[in-house]
Chains A and B, each alone.
Chain A
Amino acid sequence: MEVDYSGDIMTLNMGPQHPSTHGVLRLELKTDGEIVADAVPHIGYLHRCFEKHVENVDYAGVVPFTDRMDYCAAMNMELGYVLTVEKLMGIEVNNRVRCLRIIMAELSRIASHLIAAGTYGNDIGSFTPFLWCFRDRETILDFFEETSGARLLYNYNWIGGLMHDIKPGLEEKIIEFIDYFEPEVDNLNRLLSDNFIFIKRTAGVGILSPEQAVSYGVTGPNLRGSGVKFDVRREEPYLGYEDYEFDIPVGLGEHGPVGSCWDRYMVRIREVKESCKIVRQAVARLTPGDVREAVPKRIKPPAGEVYMRTECPRGELGYLLVSDGSLKPYRLKVKSPCFTVMSAFREVSRGAMIADVVSILGSFDIVLGEIDR
């Protein structure tokens, strides 16, 4: 789209303290009236030296820090890390651990996508979906609390196993919740997703074409929203995801071109339903076993280098772990999905309106804790 930006340009600093920047992100907007000529994201306000810090913590002690990267999906963050260490150490976990990890990871994905959908509604100006989503998320957090003892930062996945086995009877409760929850998604759709105002605000806005998405290295729901069918759970399965039946929803472009904010949002809503399917299957596959069976007494991986990627709710989360054979990681590099999608932000939001910038940012569903680490 060609826009003439010859008018007076005003710089508007959106953030770091702004209701809709989802944390402490600063967007430097060059605005011409309501039109945004340029939007430069400035990150780093939440930098906590995660990567350097973990070089001074033993392997098991890193897990609580990975929780704090993406605090909306802590279960998936620690899962990626423990799988990396297990890959380096060659630890094989039993079936119960694998199934429980999948259950927890998928429940966490549902919780995370609920936050994404709720806050997105909030960004667009509808306040009610936010509370509805949080109401259902609370139930999932209850499961996590009952199992691990914490509601947000779990430290539940351990290297070689899990912190605790689930309480007897939790499987039924989870299934009961899924039964209740699946129709609730339709209610959310009727309130927000299919609302004409919402569609007009999001469809046709912030279009990230498939080529752009791939060239920027965008992953996860943002990539799938552009119509590219790519999911690490399918492409490079871990934890036995290859045995599960689930679809990979992609943006179909029902309202306007593929890759718009509505597509990205809708991919998340559809993924929630797919996650429900996976949870059902994983609960059915639970076999008895000791969840701490393979936990090593002393975590001292051999010297070496390993890269492991998992599909976290916001995209492909990669850990590059270098070990020098000591008790502490020599180097841990995180490939963050939100960081890559932020790099595409500038191009996507050029020429949009101020309200669209908020809409685009919300549809990317970033968590600053993970971008800045």
Chain B
Amino acid sequence: MESVAQLLEKIPKYDALPETISALMPILASSVILFAMLALAVLFMVWLERKVSAHIQDRLGPMVVGGWHGWAQTIADALKLLLKEDIVPASVDRVLFKMAPFIVFLGAFAAYVVLPFGSSSFVTDLNIGILYIVAVSSLSVIGIIMAGWSSNNKYSLYGSMRAAAQIVSYEIPAAVAIMTVVLFTGSLSMVDIVRAQTGGIQNWFLFRNPFLFLAFVVYFIASLAEVNRTPFDLPEAESELVAGYHTEYSGMRFAFFFLAEYANMFLVASVATTLFLGGWTQAVPASIMPQIVPGPVVFFVKALILIFIQMWMRWSLPRLRVDQLMYINWKVLLPVSFALVLGAGWMATL
């Protein structure tokens, strides 16, 4: 936020603004910038997802809108969703039904505050950064339950109950896997975690030691479940629950669910990038090659690689069943993550 505040001060007559407004301006500007960036990233990710799925399935995907490989297709779709009629079914709980998509989105969006995209491009550096992300991103569960309950649809209810159970359960191995990194940095601040990994690829936590590598794997699997991606897409399992908790939604409200889903995907990829892949730092140490590429670009490339793997998994794997989902969480991921904390703690004390 400091860098945003400095930018704002370059605006002529910015000093003339009243104190209350100039105090709010950096917050507002950061939110707008973050939202714009997120919206763009989501549009790109939706397009990428379509292309990846299409090519895995020997199709081409969107090819017409915008010319080159249908790059404008998602923009057109987003416009369509925003312009559609806002349908609220007759028998829903109107207040909850209308609020739910925004709360789901809020949970995803609020976590972006502490993500360090570059050495100076972050909104704020909380000293409990990673804990804040873990806490805030589970907010969306409330929104999902609201959506499922208020829709007055049995499929929505099933979807939301599954989602709640799944997200809450998988928080645990994800958080424990994160703790392995914290053991090494001794700090919960996202910026400190990245700074601890500077100096080339060998300093990334992913390649520091085998425990951290496995912790990355555990976090990646758990994060897939947290964002409801295949093979853990039970809450919106099309063949069973039609569309899960957003069955009754259409138009703009559906678009917000969609946005939240992809924002969550990007969030977990960003967290994994920050924790394990060195955030904005480049693979080649600065002593060998000067750092020409801006930090945010490096960050985005790393995050996109992880997102690509998420998509690749989605279009190759079938879906798990509810009991198997819980089996993997409680009987596989959780013991493994505890063992990893022990191992990593031992390594950190060496």
Interaction A to B: yes
Q: Contacting chain B: which of A90-98, A192-200, A275-283, A365-373?
A: A192-200
> How would residues 266 to 304 of chain B score, 1 for a CB under 8 Å from any chain A CB and 0 otherwise?
000000000000000000000000000000000000000
Q: Which of B53, B56, B319 has the most CB of A within 10 A?
A: B319
Residues of chain B within 8 A of A237, CB atoms compared: none
> In the complex the two chains form, what is the Cα distance from A182 to B234 in whole Å?
33
Residues of chain B within 8 A of A12, CB atoms compared: 154-155, 158
**Is B58 a contact partner of A201 (Cβ separation < 8 A)?**
no
The answer, among A131, A191, A201, for a CB contact under 8 Å with B320, is A201
**Is A201 a contact partner of B240 (Cβ separation < 8 A)?**
no
Residues of chain B within 8 A of A356, CB atoms compared: 321
Is the CB of A128 closer than 8 A to any CB of chain B?
yes
Q: Contacting chain B: which of A65-73, A99-107, A116-124, A304-312?
A: A116-124
> How would residues 40 to 74 of chain B score, 1 for a CB under 8 Å from any chain A CB and 0 otherwise?
00000000000001001111000000000000000
**Is B318 a contact partner of A198 (Cβ separation < 8 A)?**
yes
**Is A126 a contact partner of B321 (Cβ separation < 8 A)?**
no
B314-343 with Cβ < 8 A to chain A: 315-324
Chain B residues engaging chain A, CB cutoff 8 angstroms: 53, 56-59, 154-155, 158, 230-231, 233-234, 237-242, 315-324
Min Cβ gap B65→A in Å is 22
- Supply 19 A–B pairs (Cβ within 8 Å), ascending by A: A12-B158, A122-B239, A125-B237, A125-B238, A126-B316, A126-B318, A128-B53, A128-B56, A128-B57, A131-B58, A131-B59, A197-B317, A200-B321, A201-B318, A201-B319, A201-B321, A201-B324, A356-B321, A358-B239
A118-155 with Cβ < 8 A to chain B: 121-128, 130-132, 135
> How would residues 349 to 373 of chain A score, 1 for a CB under 8 Å from any chain B CB and 0 otherwise?
0000111101000000000000000
Give the total of A residues in contact with B, Cβ under 8 Å.
30
**Is A358 a contact partner of B240 (Cβ separation < 8 A)?**
yes
Residues of chain B within 8 A of A355, CB atoms compared: 234, 237, 240, 319, 321-322
Is the CB of A34 closer than 8 A to any CB of chain B?
yes
Residues of chain B within 8 A of A198, CB atoms compared: 318
Residues of chain B within 8 A of A195, CB atoms compared: 317-318
**Is B318 a contact partner of A354 (Cβ separation < 8 A)?**
no
> How would residues 225 to 240 of chain A score, 1 for a CB under 8 Å from any chain B CB and 0 otherwise?
0000000000000000
**Is A20 a contact partner of B323 (Cβ separation < 8 A)?**
no
**Is B318 a contact partner of A353 (Cβ separation < 8 A)?**
no
**Is A353 a contact partner of B323 (Cβ separation < 8 A)?**
yes
Residues of chain B within 8 A of A126, CB atoms compared: 230, 316-319
Is the CB of A19 closer than 8 A to any CB of chain B?
yes
The answer, among B56, B239, B322, for a CB contact under 8 Å with A34, is B322
Not counting A122-B239, A127-B53, a sample of 9 additional A-B residue pairs whose C-beta atoms are within 8 angstroms of each other reads A10-B154, A19-B239, A124-B239, A132-B57, A132-B58, A195-B318, A197-B324, A200-B324, A355-B234
**Is A19 a contact partner of B242 (Cβ separation < 8 A)?**
yes
Is the CB of A164 closer than 8 A to any CB of chain B?
no
Residues of chain A within 8 A of B240, CB atoms compared: 20, 354-355, 358
Identify the closest chain A residue to B319 (Cβ): A125
Given the contacts A12-B154, A197-B318, A354-B158, A123 and B57 also touching, CB distance less than 8 Å: no
Residues of chain A within 8 A of B323, CB atoms compared: 353
Identify the closest chain B residue to A126 (Cβ): B318
**Is A197 a contact partner of B239 (Cβ separation < 8 A)?**
no
What are the 10 tightest A-B residue pairs by CB atom distance, in nearest-first order? A125-B319, A131-B57, A20-B239, A126-B318, A124-B318, A123-B239, A125-B318, A355-B321, A198-B318, A197-B318
> In the complex the two chains form, what is the Cα distance from A69 to B240 in whole Å?
26
Residues of chain A within 8 A of B234, CB atoms compared: 355
> How would residues 188 to 210 of chain A score, 1 for a CB under 8 Å from any chain B CB and 0 otherwise?
00011001011011000000000
